[in-house]
A and B are shown apart, each in its own frame.
Chain A
Amino acid sequence: MARIQLKNIQKRWGHIYGVRDVNIDIADEEFLVLLGPSGCGKTTTMRMIAGLEDPSEGEILMDGEYMNDVDSRDRDVAMVFQGYALYPNMSIYENIRFPLRMRGVPKEEHDKLVREAADMVEMGDYLDRKPSALSGGQRQRAALARAVVRQPQVFLMDEPLSNLDAKLRQAMRIQIKHLQRQLKITSVYVTHDQIEALTLADRIVIMESGNIQQVGTPDEIYSDPANAFVAGFIGSPPMNLVEGVVKNNTFTSEGISIPKLDVNFDGPVKLGIRPEDCLVMNGGKKKAHLQGDVYAVEPTGDITYLTIRISGQNFEVKADRDYRAEPGKKETVLFDTDRLYFFDVKSGERIRS
């Protein structure tokens, strides 16, 4: 098993930075998720751990051993790809067996190991099939079996679920989490899907434009965002961010007024409030913090999403599932003032009081 350390990792192509100043210490048996929008450098970071990409600067250590100049095939890592990357000319059995053959595992053990790995992901009945004769979910499970068959030190997954439909994705997510806990293999998982990140991860690394924005447990990332980017990226719908001014412990902006704030700063700020920390007052003006026109109401069954339009932007609120209103209706909202966040207008950094 392995601990992975990335120290001051940079990756650039000419003058363009793909990854900048990345420092991550991944503990043995940890499940780490790299999360960010496309082009943020998360896949490049993973590919550097796999040895498929060389860092321009910095060190990659596995169990303290310097890995930069070790070839990909000599690092004991297994990788699962977004496009499954099964070998099309081989049966599923041969696909799963391929890493055993390449790494010189004694032949007598192959059959047992292949069948064990296939059974682990419930693919035992499909070993004779070619990849083209399988569905997307089955292909991804076969790819998982190929990755776990030789019990690697490190398990890397690059958006493994993004080609699957929503229902299958949830089932596979559970399977991956179970498998990782069962095998206790240090895992790095790349995704742009925050639900995958929050459900799977021991720790999440949020990246943007090649930089790490925050590293933390799912709880920390959700309840204690380091900056406006993280706040606006996590949550579904994400946190509402409204620019305004704090003066004499009162935050004001168009349509919003929050008095009696326990803050020790004045000036322009960005206010953050999650849709789930808002209470719809059904037009009652007493004590309400926000007042605006209903823009849209989206019932989803268990919850109703209410969108209010203020100062030219959408403000999302999670309302009770019975809530209904016509667009244009005046609505008022109360905030949970213990769960307000303030960010610097320019840098986006969190302002703590």
Chain B
Amino acid sequence: MASVRRKTGESLLIRYLILGTWALFCLMPVIWFLSIGLRSRVEIITPQPIYFPIFSLEAWWMIWEDWPMAKYLLNSVGAIFGSVVIDLILAIPAAYSLSRYNYRFREDIGFYILSTRMMAPAIVAIPIFFLFKNMGLLDSIWALMLIYAAINLSIVTWIIRSYMMDIPKELEDAARTDGASDMRILWEIITPAILPGIITAAVIAMIFAINEFLFTLLIASTPKGYTMSVALANFTGGSDGVIYNAIALVSFLAFVPVFIVVVLTQKHLSRGLTMGAVKG
């Protein structure tokens, strides 16, 4: 052998140094948010640089005591969770149909579903407002659930469909000759086999939903229906001016649930995102 490279302590150190720098770079906004959120208002608006910050829980107490933040958080989590459930219940059978059954205009229907995503949301804002007003669903978490589900349904359907198309047809043929009905095949064979794809789609839908602002603002006119993203807007106006530390802290709080979900599903997520790439 010409040359054998061994892992030395030195090369390992360099490797960790590079990865550590990269991790720090990615985490910087989060750390920055947290550092702003945990300092007093006076300290963060001072023009002089501060080398030794004094941490305070001023903003923390403010958002919980002066604002119904717990309610907002609950609204966010409830609406998002509900919307993802609705999406999966509708998208899995739809994706199955689009990936497996042969019928006229199948490809067109698939495209129409995706095209709903191409529309600027503002175009449908007013009709949607009246639609929900007439249904008496304004200012309600159920309305948010439906809106988020509708917004994300197309993308969730498409992600799941692409995973289903990777499932070998033989698997279904085997189940069919074994005596399984279409529904049994879908729930017992296909769905477990594409679980990473379903989780990927659900996480993506969740991230989109938590960031949704326009429709939430439209539907939720009182704190009863506010979510975290709309609550943030409350800190930018009014007699108190822009409350930077509260904004930073609420943003951090909105980030935490997503972060937890991603960490919990990481194994499936990375498999899901790379599945199409490594399979021959």
Q: Give me the interface of A with B, judged by CB distance under 8 Å.
A: 47, 50-52, 72-75, 77-79, 81-83, 85-89, 98-99, 102-103, 146, 156
A residues less than 8 Å from B58 (CB atoms):
none
- Does B193 lie within 8 Å of A72, measured CB to CB? no
Which residues in chain B, 145-180, are within 8 Å of chain A measured between CB atoms? 168, 170-171, 173-180
- Does B174 lie within 8 Å of A73, measured CB to CB? no
Q: Say whether, besides A83-B168, A85-B168, A88-B193, A52 and B184 are in contact (CB < 8 Å).
A: no
- Does A52 lie within 8 Å of B177, measured CB to CB? yes
- Does B174 lie within 8 Å of A79, measured CB to CB? yes
A103 vs B177: C-alpha distance in the bound complex, in angstroms? Answer: 10
Q: What would 8 more interface pairs be, CB under 8 Å, given A73-B179, A83-B168, A102-B184?
A: A51-B176, A73-B180, A81-B173, A86-B174, A99-B178, A102-B175, A102-B179, A156-B177
Q: Is B192 an interface residue (CB 8 A)?
A: yes
- Does A83 lie within 8 Å of B177, measured CB to CB? no
Listed by A's residue number, 11 A-B pairs whose Cβ atoms lie within 8 Å are: A47-B173, A50-B173, A51-B176, A72-B176, A73-B179, A73-B181, A77-B177, A83-B170, A88-B193, A98-B175, A98-B180
A residues less than 8 Å from B44 (CB atoms):
none
A79 vs B175: C-alpha distance in the bound complex, in angstroms? Answer: 10
Q: Say whether, besides A83-B170, A85-B173, A87-B171, A102 and B193 are in contact (CB < 8 Å).
A: no
- Does B178 lie within 8 Å of A50, measured CB to CB? no
- Does B170 lie within 8 Å of A102, measured CB to CB? no
Q: Which residue on chain A has the smallest CB distance to residue B189? A: A87
A residues less than 8 Å from B178 (CB atoms):
73, 78, 98-99, 102-103, 146
- Does A52 lie within 8 Å of B170, measured CB to CB? no
Q: Give me the interface of B with A, judged by CB distance under 8 Å.
A: 168, 170-171, 173-181, 184, 188-189, 192-193, 195
Give chain A nearest CB distance to B272 CB in angstroms.
15
A74 vs B195: C-alpha distance in the bound complex, in angstroms? Answer: 29
Q: Say whether, besides A81-B170, A82-B170, A102-B184, A87 and B175 are in contact (CB < 8 Å).
A: yes
A residues less than 8 Å from B193 (CB atoms):
87-89
B residues less than 8 Å from A103 (CB atoms):
178-179
A177 vs B174: C-alpha distance in the bound complex, in angstroms? Answer: 21
- Does B174 lie within 8 Å of A85, measured CB to CB? yes
B residues less than 8 Å from A88 (CB atoms):
192-193
- Does B170 lie within 8 Å of A85, measured CB to CB? yes
- Does B176 lie within 8 Å of A85, measured CB to CB? no
A residues less than 8 Å from B177 (CB atoms):
50-52, 72-73, 75, 77-79, 156
Give chain B nearest CB distance to A56 CB in angstroms.
15
Give chain B nearest CB distance to A191 CB in angstroms.
16
Give chain A nearest CB distance to B142 CB in angstroms.
34
A residues less than 8 Å from B179 (CB atoms):
73-74, 99, 102-103
A51 vs B195: C-alpha distance in the bound complex, in angstroms? Answer: 29
Give chain A nearest CB distance to B186 CB in angstroms.
13
A81's partner among B174, B180, B189 (CB-CB below 8 A) is B174
Give chain B nearest CB distance to A160 CB in angstroms.
12
A88 vs B188: C-alpha distance in the bound complex, in angstroms? Answer: 11
Give chain A nearest CB distance to B185 CB in angstroms.
10
Give chain A nearest CB distance to B280 CB in angstroms.
12
A118 vs B168: C-alpha distance in the bound complex, in angstroms? Answer: 25
- Does A52 lie within 8 Å of B171, measured CB to CB? no
B residues less than 8 Å from A74 (CB atoms):
179
Give chain B nearest CB distance to A81 CB in angstroms.
5
B residues less than 8 Å from A99 (CB atoms):
178-179
B180's partner among A47, A52, A102 (CB-CB below 8 A) is A102
B residues less than 8 Å from A89 (CB atoms):
189, 192-193, 195
Greatest chain A CB density within 10 A among B179, B184, B195 is at B179
Q: Which residue on chain B has the smallest CB distance to residue A98? A: B178
B residues less than 8 Å from A87 (CB atoms):
171, 174-175, 188-189, 192-193
A residues less than 8 Å from B171 (CB atoms):
85, 87
Q: Which residue on chain B has the smallest CB distance to residue A72? A: B176
- Does B173 lie within 8 Å of A79, measured CB to CB? yes
B residues less than 8 Å from A98 (CB atoms):
175, 178, 180
Q: Which residue on chain B has the smallest CB distance to residue A146? A: B178
A82 vs B168: C-alpha distance in the bound complex, in angstroms? Answer: 11
Give chain A nearest CB distance to B183 CB in angstroms.
12
A85 vs B168: C-alpha distance in the bound complex, in angstroms? Answer: 8
A17 vs B175: C-alpha distance in the bound complex, in angstroms? Answer: 28
A78 vs B176: C-alpha distance in the bound complex, in angstroms? Answer: 10
Give chain B nearest CB distance to A62 CB in angstroms.
14
- Does A73 lie within 8 Å of B176, measured CB to CB? yes
Give chain A nearest CB distance to B66 CB in angstroms.
50
A268 vs B10: C-alpha distance in the bound complex, in angstroms? Answer: 81
A156 vs B174: C-alpha distance in the bound complex, in angstroms? Answer: 11
Q: Which residue on chain B has the smallest CB distance to residue A73? A: B179
B residues less than 8 Å from A77 (CB atoms):
177
